[in-house]
Amino acid sequence: MIEKVREIVKKECDERNWKFHISHVVKYAKLLAKKLNADEELAELGALLHDIGRIKFGAKNHEITGIHEAEKILKQLKYTKEIIDEVKHCVESHRGSGNIKPKTIIAKIVANADAMAHFDTVFVLFQVGMKRHNNIEKAVEWVYEKIERDWNKKLTIPEAMLSG
């Protein structure tokens, strides 16, 4: 069933998003799940869908807009309520800047994997910063702030700091 979710997310996002972000988050989420003996498939589901709000509706409040969207996709595929609730929590808590903090191990894994993926793809973040600010200095500053936020607020699992 997870292949279906993979397919749907891949179809929804542009190649850049998949190649330079989502696939990295999936990679780290699975790695962390393995290290922490957590459910790898659930971690992958959370990783696949954590940014679905941003992918469909843009960055603003995407930790909120993504909740309903993730639910819709998983309901269609007849996932259990338990799994759906877990993934929704991954979505709502994945942003370092948001109010809701990750409470479950899977949500923590997704938030950490999200940060780790950013460290992998700083050059892509810079491009996003340039798009936002159209100014190199401001773009660099934006990337620094983002990485700092990731480091301070999202990296909560010791294993994540060692394996990035």
Contact 66, 53 (CB under 8 A): yes
> Which is nearer to Fe ion, 61 or 76 (by Cβ)?
61
Q: How far is the CB of 62 from Fe ion (least distance, A)?
A: 6
Q: Which DSSP category does 135 fall into?
A: S
Cα torsion for 63, 67, 72, 78, to the nearest 10°?
Answer: 120
Contact 21, 121 (CB under 8 A): yes
> Which is nearer to Fe ion, 56 or 81 (by Cβ)?
56
* Tokens describing residue 125: 């973040």
Q: How far is the CB of 78 from Fe ion (least distance, A)?
A: 26
| Strand runs labelled E in the chain | none
Contact 156, 112 (CB under 8 A): yes
* Tokens describing residue 145: 């702030």
Q: How far is the CB of 28 from Fe ion (least distance, A)?
A: 11
> Which is nearer to Fe ion, 97 or 134 (by Cβ)?
97
Q: How far is the CB of 54 from Fe ion (least distance, A)?
A: 5
Taking the alpha carbons at both ends of the chain, their separation in whole angstroms is 28
> Which is nearer to Fe ion, 51 or 86 (by Cβ)?
51
> Which is nearer to Fe ion, 2 or 64 (by Cβ)?
64
Q: How far is the CB of 70 from Fe ion (least distance, A)?
A: 12
Q: Using CB under 5 A, list all residues that contact Fe ion.
A: 51, 114
Contacts of 52 (CB under 8 A, 6+ apart): 9, 12, 66, 69, 70, 73, 91
